[in-house]
Amino acid sequence: MSSTTPILNGLRGRCGACGQGRLFSAYLKLNEACPHCGRDMRAADTADGPAFFVGFGVLILTAPFLFLIPMSPLAPLMKAAAIVFLALVITGLSMWLLPVAKGILLNLQLHHRSGEAEFERKDG
Ligand SMILES: [Zn+2]
């Protein structure tokens, strides 16, 4: 059974219309169309939205450790090891969340048929 909820399908990396086809042909590389239902994926462009949300989310979760580790009573070598470990966690978390955020934003854009803002001219 497949869900047609754009957000849930985006979490799974699946097409928001059918819930079956994969959104990505490779890491962050979108398919041009859904391999299952043929939905055109080129109509949406998430631009840097996923990176923005993932960057802020991961930063909010990990920033306290960037302050706590230097102030901790650990030996300097242990502090350096903790910072390196934290950098690996930040990188891994960001890499893991980027396709998820991109899938959600893409499915929401396609679902709501969003596009670039168009403003009417009032000169005539
Ligand atoms: Zn589909």
Mean pLDDT for the chain overall: 91
Is the pLDDT at 69 greater than 90? The verdict is yes
Q: How far apart are CA 122 and CA 4, in angstroms?
A: 40
| Spacing, Cα 54 to ligand 1 middle (Å) | 25
| Spacing, Cα 73 to ligand 1 middle (Å) | 54
Q: What is the pLDDT of residue 1?
A: 46
* pLDDT per residue as tens digits for the range 15-56: 999 999 999 999 999 999 999 999 998 888 888 999 999 999
The pTM of the whole model exceeds 0.75: yes
Rg (CA), the chain: 20
Q: What is the pLDDT of residue 124?
A: 53
b/e per residue 50-82 (b: at least 16 CB within 10 A): bbebbbeebeeeeeebeeebeeeeeeeeeeeeb
| Spacing, Cα 97 to ligand 1 middle (Å) | 22
Is the pLDDT at 122 greater than 50? The verdict is yes
| Spacing, Cα 96 to ligand 1 middle (Å) | 23
| Spacing, Cα 13 to ligand 1 middle (Å) | 11
